[in-house]
Amino acid sequence: MLTGDKLETAENIGRSCNLILPNFEVFRITEKIHEEVEQKLKEVKAKSDEFFEKQVPKALLVEG
């Protein structure tokens, strides 16, 4: 889902539409500087891999 809303509003919309369920692990990227975004994406990927093995559903929210 793509919105032009603020991150919090987008998450609320996702939850109200059941695109993001209560048991989801939600990753948020709010960084603006390229290097910081790149680092955060690496962290999210590592955590996502862990949750994948445990079959935990995930959502990724990107501000920008």
Q: What is the pLDDT of residue 29?
A: 93
- Mapping DSSP to helix (H, G, I), strand (E, B) and coil, where does residue 31 land? coil
Q: Could you tell me the pTM of the whole model?
A: 0.81
Residue 31 maps to a domain: yes
Q: What is the pLDDT of residue 64?
A: 76
Q: What is the pLDDT of residue 17?
A: 95
Residue 2 maps to a domain: no
Encoded tokens for 27: 């990753």
What is the total count of domains within the chain? 1
What is the extent of the structural domain holding 46?
A: 7-62
Q: Across the chain, what does the average pLDDT equal? A: 91
State in Å, rounded, how far the first CA of the chain is from the last one.
14
Give the model's confidence band at 45: pLDDT under 50 very low, under 70 low, under 90 confident, else very high: very high
Residue 24 maps to a domain: yes
Share of the chain above pLDDT 70, in %: 100
Q: Please state, in angstroms and rounded to a whole number, the distance separating the CA atoms of residues 46 and 51.
A: 9
